[in-house]
Each structure stands twice: as structure tokens, then as C-alpha cells.
A and B are shown apart, each in its own frame.
Chain A
């Protein structure tokens, strides 16, 4: 056996090293467990993860490293695009850790902080493997590694009934959908005799009904992870019940990884029956965007509101999958980056407001501008980016997404998505209106945010403002999109 192949999976190994360091550090640094004083807090995980992110970029910067490397006989495939996606995911996780600081600082959380970081990073590791999978076994293990610790994270507030309920709903639907997907994979195995993505594609034909059934089951399983409409029922409950720092992780990171994998599998495995897949996605996207928009308008809880916003954004994200073109690939990764900074920015503000005042209803934000002008300004920027108002990044990401789908020939779909952008503008502006215009007798009192939240907000706001204007980001991602 050639052990040097392990070096091809450098990012996974360094993430595993980060997890082990944090695990051991949790044992030894948290000496004062009895009195509940956790020493291990945000700095160590954030610094380690930043180092890991920078190290992971090495193959992109230095040309001496092999780009398209494989390990385990082709089960693990590393491409430049996968490295970019993993980097985006780990930057998102850093911002989520910054969000979680205030919440984990509470006395009752102090003695279980370490578990939060370990569990979160294990789900991230699962997504890494999923993104780089070249074989259905690797894909399935990655998917489960990403969703099983996620349940523990959702149920993290042990005394809260909402948290437990959200976790139960999440794990039952997750198991059901992964069971159906496993059945689909078994049908694929039975008809093709292999589980490698590359070898499977030539043996798939549109006339084989078993393979079409497998395609439907597969889309059902992955659609659950991305929370597309017929499979979205867990989303709102899980988002509302989970602790806010976990919700922000759930809404961006796990969704983005799954969307990328969906594209890779459609492109590599289901290429011969891509027309049938497109027909399915045509309706899935229309229902995701429209239904989620309608439901979002009538929400009162801001986390639940963000859940429906996330379902609708997932619909846009999957728009790039249509046709499986290289341009669609670039659009997905770029959309993921832009959506990540905007959504995490909103969640940073929701989280710090919840920690300081305990308020989570949209009506609680009435008069927020009078007491906290800076925060409401930043929140407005992030919401504008989510809605897609120029010159913020959200406009450009939506533009590239529509361009990709338009060039692939889905004109009607782009039109429906455009109409829905207007509806989404309405409900994002409802929050802006609550903050700036609606009067309130008891606005949320003025509070100071801590340093970590400020750092996270600076990163997110820079992203929202700059990623769209600086075209380097798009062209940098674009140069990798052809080889996948």
C-alpha cells in the first residue's frame, strides 16, 4: 500500500488534527469543571481553524502540488474546485464560532463548550468527505457523518423542550430520507455493478426504469439536506428549535456542501439521464422558491422567518444545477460564498440580540434603529444582499445564477425566479421597516456587542460589500470550474 496517498487528502487530515487537538485541549484546559469555569473558549478553535484554512489553500497557490489527486483507489477525489468549496465552508465555520461565543460563555454552557466545537467540526469533516467523494460509499459515509452529529448539536440545549423537539423531527426525517437514498443507491449498484461515479455513468440509460427510480430516490435524499420543497418540512421546526449558533451553521454550511455534491453526482453519474433530472428540478425549484416565499411573509419568529428564507435561497442555489454546465458550477460556488456572508451576518445580529435581550420575534425589532443604529444598519446591508439589491454581492450572485440557467435554456424558470425575487424583496424589507419605521414603546435597549461578534460582523459586511464589486472572486472560482 502506498501511504503517500494520504497526503492527497491534506485538508481532511489537518481538520482531523484540529479536532484531536481541541478534544485533548478540552480534557486538560477545562480543569475547573466542577465550578463550571470553562477555559477553552472561542480563541483556540478559531485560531486553529484559521491555520487549517490557510494550509488547505496551499495546493492552489503552489503549482508543484498535484491538483487532481485521488486516494483509496479513487474513492476520494480531490479537485481544485473541491478545495475552493472546502475553504468556503471552513471560513463559514469560523464565523459561526464567532457567533457562538456569547452563547457558550453562559455559566450553564461553560462545562460543555468543548463538545460544541468537536461536534461542529465532525460535521464539517463529513461534508469534506462528501464534497470529495468519487464513490457512493464515501459519499454515504460523509453524508451521515455530517447529519448524525448535527442532531446532537440541535439537541444541545438539554433543558429546552423546543431544542429536543427540533432534534427529534430532524433525526427522524433525516433517517427516513437517507434510508430511501440508500435504497436508491442499491438499485444503482444492482443495475450497473459498480459504485464508482466514473464507471457508473456509461451504464446508465434513460430507458431503464429502475435507474430512473434510483434517480428520484437519490434526489429525495439529497433534497432533504438542501431542504428543497417536498422535503422541507423539518426545516422551519429545526431552525426555530435549535440554538441560534447551530441554526446559522445549519442554514449555510450543510446546505452548501449538499448542493455542491448534488451537482457533482448529477454531472458525473446521471449525465445520460440529465433531461429527466432537469424535469424534476424544474418543478422542485418552482415550488421551493414560491411556497417558501409565501410562507415567509406570514412568519412572526425571526428564526422561523430565516428558515423559510433559507428554503427559498436553496431553490435559487439549485438553479445552477439545471443543465449541469461549467457556468452553473461557478454560479453555485459563488452563490454559496455570497449567501454565506449575508446569512451569517444576519444570524450574528439575531444571536447577539437574543443573548442580550432574549427577544426573537420580528415585532420585537420595532424601533431597533433608535436604540442600536449601527447593528440595524449592518442588518439592513445583509438583508439587501439576501434580497439581491445592487450594488451588494447578492445581486451579482443572483445575476450569474440566472445567466447560467438562461444559457442552459430554462427561460421560463428564470422568469419565475425573477418574479419571486420581487416577493422576497417584500418580506426582507418587512424587517427593515420594523427596524427603521415602526414605532415601539419598548424597543430593545441599547447594548454593546462583544469583540468576537464585532469581528464576525466586520468579516460579513466586508464580504457583502466587496465580493460583488471585486470581480476577482468570480473569475478565480470560474477558472477551476471546467475540470470539476
Chain B
């Protein structure tokens, strides 16, 4: 069986959709972060698959590597912020973050 680009694109689109759905519906900040990781990884899959099956060169792979490194840095700082919030509020639900509004 020949695996075409369609399979990869469907996989990444499903991951993107799941990530967006999770971002809007989850209440726990860590779960939201996991949803965002799904979105970022969907884009990475796209890059790698496009590079492997459609394009020449290694531009897409290199972009994937950089993007993984950058999303790791972002996750690190996001978790640091969440730990800081946990210390103050003793939980990390987004509904509790309501001092600033309107």
C-alpha cells in the first residue's frame, strides 16, 4: 500500500481541530497547554510530510527542528507562569483567573 500525502494532511487536520477544540473547552491551564502542543505538532507533521513527499531539499525538516525547539521553550515558560499561579491560588483553573476583566 502506498501512503500518500493525503493521509498525513488528514492526520494533521484532525490534530489541529482537536487542539482548537481543547483550547476553547478545557478549564485546566495545563490541559489548554497540551491542546496548544497538538496544534504546534500538527504544523510540524505538515512540514515533515510535505518535505518528504512533495518537495525537495531539507527546508521543511529544518523548520520542524526549529519549531520543536521553540515550542519547548514556550512550554517551559508557560509552565513557570502556571506554577506561579498555582502558588497563589492553589489551583490552576482558568475560571479562577478573573481579577482582570472588562
Chain B residue, CB-CB nearest to A184: B43
Assuming the contacts A137-B66, A193-B54, asked whether A172 and B88 have C-beta atoms less than 8 A apart, the reply is: no
How would residues 165 to 190 of chain A score, 1 for a CB under 8 Å from any chain B CB and 0 otherwise?
A: 11111011011101110110111011
Q: Is B3 interfacial (CB 8 A cutoff)?
A: no
**A189 lies within 8 A of B47 (CB):** yes
Contacting residue for A183 out of B16, B70, B74, B84, CB 8 A = B16
Assuming the contacts A137-B62, A155-B81, A158-B84, asked whether A190 and B36 have C-beta atoms less than 8 A apart, the reply is: no
List A contacts of B46 (CB < 8 A).
183, 186-187, 189-190
List B contacts of A241 (CB < 8 A).
100
List B contacts of A152 (CB < 8 A).
77, 80
How many angstroms from the CA of A152 to the CA of B77 in the assembled complex?
A: 7
Chain A: minimal CB distance from B88 (Å): 5
**B59 lies within 8 A of A194 (CB):** yes
Contacting residue for B29 out of A155, A168, A176, CB 8 A = A168
Q: Is B1 interfacial (CB 8 A cutoff)?
A: no
Q: Is A237 interfacial (CB 8 A cutoff)?
A: yes
User: A175-B71, A179-B39, A183-B43 known; 9 other A-B pairs, CB under 8 Å?
Assistant: A167-B84, A171-B74, A172-B23, A176-B36, A186-B46, A190-B46, A193-B54, A237-B100, A237-B101
**B77 lies within 8 A of A179 (CB):** no
**A182 lies within 8 A of B55 (CB):** no
Interface size on A, residues (CB 8 A): 40
Chain A: minimal CB distance from B62 (Å): 7
Q: Which of A140-155 contact B (CB under 8 A)?
A: 140-141, 144, 148, 151-152, 155
Q: Which of B1-42 contact A (CB under 8 A)?
A: 12, 16, 19, 23, 29, 32-33, 36, 39-40, 42
Chain B: minimal CB distance from A484 (Å): 24
**A172 lies within 8 A of B70 (CB):** no
Q: Which residues of B contact A (CB under 8 A)?
A: 12, 16, 19, 23, 29, 32-33, 36, 39-40, 42-44, 46-47, 50-51, 54-56, 59-60, 62-63, 66-67, 70-71, 73-74, 77-78, 80-82, 84-85, 88-89, 97, 99-101
List A contacts of B73 (CB < 8 A).
144, 148
Contacting residue for B32 out of A172, A174, A180, A195, CB 8 A = A172
How many angstroms from the CA of A228 to the CA of B62 in the assembled complex?
A: 31
Total A-B pairs in contact (CB under 8 Å)?
Answer: 122
List B contacts of A158 (CB < 8 A).
84
Q: Is A15 interfacial (CB 8 A cutoff)?
A: no
How many angstroms from the CA of A237 to the CA of B94 in the assembled complex?
A: 14
**A189 lies within 8 A of B50 (CB):** yes
Q: Is the interface of B mostly helix, strand, loop or mixed?
A: helix
Chain B residue, CB-CB nearest to A154: B81
Assuming the contacts A144-B73, A165-B97, asked whether A176 and B55 have C-beta atoms less than 8 A apart, the reply is: no
**A186 lies within 8 A of B43 (CB):** yes
How many angstroms from the CA of A241 to the CA of B97 in the assembled complex?
A: 12
Contacting residue for A151 out of B23, B78, B85, B101, CB 8 A = B78
Q: Which residues of A contact B (CB under 8 A)?
A: 136-137, 140-141, 144, 148, 151-152, 155, 158, 161-162, 164-169, 171-172, 174-176, 178-180, 182-183, 185-187, 189-190, 193-195, 236-237, 240-241
How many angstroms from the CA of A73 to the CA of B57 in the assembled complex?
A: 15
**A175 lies within 8 A of B36 (CB):** yes
**B43 lies within 8 A of A185 (CB):** yes
**A186 lies within 8 A of B85 (CB):** no
How many angstroms from the CA of A168 to the CA of B84 in the assembled complex?
A: 10
**A172 lies within 8 A of B55 (CB):** no
**19 A–B contact pairs at CB < 8 A?**
A140-B67, A144-B70, A144-B73, A148-B70, A148-B73, A155-B81, A165-B97, A167-B81, A168-B97, A169-B97, A169-B100, A176-B39, A179-B36, A183-B42, A183-B46, A189-B46, A189-B51, A189-B63, A240-B100
Contacting residue for B74 out of A144, A167, A195, CB 8 A = A144
How many angstroms from the CA of A167 to the CA of B66 in the assembled complex?
A: 24
Chain A residue, CB-CB nearest to B79: A171
Most A CB contacts (10 A, CB to CB) among B33, B59, B81 go to: B81
**B66 lies within 8 A of A141 (CB):** yes
Chain B: minimal CB distance from A185 (Å): 7
**A193 lies within 8 A of B55 (CB):** yes
Chain A residue, CB-CB nearest to B39: A179
Contacting residue for B78 out of A175, A190, A195, CB 8 A = A175
Assuming the contacts A165-B85, A172-B29, A183-B46, asked whether A140 and B66 have C-beta atoms less than 8 A apart, the reply is: yes
